[in-house]
Amino acid sequence: MRVLRLNHAPSIVGYAAVVGGKEHEGPLGADFDLHDDSGKFGMDTWEKSESEMQRLALNLALSKGELSYQSIDAIFAGDLMNQCTGSAYGLLSFEKPYFGLYGACSTFAEATMLSSLMINAGYFRKCAAVSSSHFCSAERQFRFPLEYGGQRAPTAQWTATASGAAILSADGNGPYVTEVMPGIIVDKGINDINNMGAAMAPAAIDTLTAYFTETGKQPDDFDLILTGDLGLEGLSITRTLMKNEGYDLTKVYNDCGLLLYGKASQDVHCGGSGCGCSASVICGHILKRFAKGELKNVLYLATGALMSPNSLKQGATIPGIAHLVHISSEQNG
Amino acid sequence: MNMDSETYKKFTKARAPKSPIIKDCLRAFWVGGLICTFAEGLLHIYKMLNMTEENAKTLVPITLIFLAALLTGFGIFDDIAKYAGAGTLVPITGFANAMASPAIDDKSEGLVMGVGAQMFTIAGPVIVYGVLTSVIYGVIYWLCGVIG
């Protein structure tokens, strides 16, 4: 069994999202707690800016949940930078047990899942799940210099400058993380860095079909099924192939990478990506909709492309992963 | 997912939106052409300033490199290149941008390990294989002379 049902489902008691200018200009702009149009957040390097975003996001999540930093028992966090330095420097000042994670764009779901499992098992009472990505630090590491004059492929995605933090607690009034399902690594032979949606979609399909098969649930049992960050191309592939598997996602399915930007006007091609993309959409937008009562039952399925610049240069294919987190307004949901 | 890798690769390749080649070519043609016309104009201006043909021909690429690096520094070059594609990449402007852009980015790692070491990450292969090709060409040229 891959679906893990949490008998002591933890509650999300604080959440916040911090974004850059482009993300703030997007359709969800008003939902984010803090933004800096320059993307610098008062720092002199992009790497420090990303760390600062994580620090701000966690501080805001704590203050919105009316919690002190002493109350959290552990932090699960990650980002896209080499050796996860974005998280290490950003969360240094909290002086809390820290688990550094790398799941590429799936990191926020991985952090939420591990936080929930630890709380469910009784090891911790309160955990923080944090992740971030910064367009400028990611471009430098994975693609070209920022001022390099090139054209992007139509299937390319835009790394979000964003960070999200959520505080999970053994006590609270919801929403709750009631089920989680760790993804398995799936590689269907895609090696095009400019089509990450196609590289990650098979992992999303694997996780979703396994979840529906094991639980006997159907897509329409949910208010929303949200992948993070397949973009337009990956979403479309997932929708088509899930239909072949016998699951019609038409009514309830969307993707964090598409929600974050207004596609045509913002020139992001297939949509957003990066660890901060789904983290900010969940912590900025989705959890607010839970608070308003607009959503009660959401399957959040963050996908990650597990390649490195060197593996790509060596011609290796891009493995994908998709971790599932079921968020419900009911503790038994 | 009951689809083998080969079928999946074909499936995704067939459905992925393609780059608009005709539009890209037209843009590259007129912008690239404009850059070359501008360079030709520069050549005439330099000659009018009583420079020798040889000096004028040296100064034209130097001017283009300077302007491309300057526009890169002002953050304008990448916007033009996004529109023009190969139109700015193929002339020497593309080479200047490939040198200047990593230099700007990597100054945060210092002048030696940052700017000095990273400046050639994009342009380096062009230099290496450009020199190698010119050596091979030189050898062929020499052999032709010896045999012919």
Per-residue CA distances from A227 to A106, A197, A261, A282 (Å): 10, 11, 15, 11
Confidence of residue A76 (pLDDT cuts 50, 70, 90): very high
What pLDDT score does B49 carry? 93
Residue at token pair 């990273």: B118
Residue at token pair 């050549």: B43
Count contacts between A and B (CB, < 8 Å): 98
What pLDDT score does B63 carry? 96
Kindly report the nearest CA distance between residue A199 and chain B, in angstroms. 9
Kindly report the nearest CA distance between residue A198 and chain B, in angstroms. 6
Kindly report the nearest CA distance between residue A266 and chain B, in angstroms. 14
Report CB contact under 8 Å: A148, B85: no
SS3 A91: coil
Q: Does B122 touch chain A (CB under 8 A)?
A: yes
Report the residue from B6, B73, B98 with minimal CB separation from A148: B98
Taking residues B11-24, report their average pLDDT.
Answer: 92
Amino acid, single-letter form, for residue B40? E
Return the closest-CA partner of residue A323 out of A207, A229, A210, A218.
A207
> Which of A93-102, A258-267, A280-289 is least confident?
A258-267
Q: With residue A291 as reference, give the H or E element that holds it.
A: helix A287-291
Strands (E) across A210-250 are located at 224-228
Report CB contact under 8 Å: B81, A189: no
Q: Which chain B residues in 53-112 lie under 8 Å from chain A, judged by CB atoms?
A: 72-73, 75, 77-78, 80-82, 85, 88-89, 94, 97-98, 100-102, 104-106, 108
pLDDT, averaged across chain A: 95
Spell B86-108 as b/e; 16+ CB within 10 A means b. bbbbebbbbbbbbbbbbbbbbee
| Token pair of B116 as six digits | 């000095």
Please state, in angstroms and rounded to a whole number, the distance separating the CA atoms of residues A190 and A251: 28
Confidence of residue B145 (pLDDT cuts 50, 70, 90): confident
Amino acid, single-letter form, for residue A199? A
Write the pLDDT tens digit of every residue in A157-205: 999 999 999 999 999 998 999 999 999 999 999 999 899 999 999 999 9
Please state, in angstroms and rounded to a whole number, the distance separating the CA atoms of residues A227 and B12: 18
pLDDT surpassing 70 at residue A263: no
Chain B hits for A146, Cβ within 8 Å: 78, 101, 104-105
Please state, in angstroms and rounded to a whole number, the distance separating the CA atoms of residues B63 and B85: 21
Residue at token pair 């969940």: A282
Write the pLDDT tens digit of every residue in B63-77: 999 999 999 999 999
Q: Which residue of A has its CA nearest to B99?
A: A148
pLDDT, averaged across chain B: 93
Report CB contact under 8 Å: B78, A209: no
Chain A hits for B73, Cβ within 8 Å: 147
Q: Within chain B, what is the greatest distance between any pair of CA atoms? A: 74
Return the closest-CA partner of residue A177 out of A216, A127, A132.
A127
DSSP β-bridge partners for residue A19:
A35, A162
DSSP β-bridge partners for residue A300:
A226, A325
What pLDDT score does B2 carry? 78
Write the pLDDT tens digit of every residue in A104-139: 999 999 999 999 999 999 999 999 999 999 999 999
Report the residue from B12, B73, B97 with minimal CB separation from A190: B12
What pLDDT score does B1 carry? 77
Q: Does B147 touch chain A (CB under 8 A)?
A: no
List the domains of chain A with CATH numbers.
4-169 (3.40.47.40), 176-328 (3.40.47.40)
Q: With residue B83 as reference, give the H or E element that holds it.
A: helix B77-84
Q: Determine the length of chain A.
A: 333
ipTM of this predicted complex? Answer: 0.88
Q: Does A30 touch chain B (CB under 8 A)?
A: no
Please state, in angstroms and rounded to a whole number, the distance separating the CA atoms of residues A158 and A257: 9
Taking residues B38-54, report their average pLDDT.
Answer: 94
Taking residues B9-31, report their average pLDDT.
Answer: 93
Report CB contact under 8 Å: A190, B9: yes
Chain A hits for B75, Cβ within 8 Å: 147
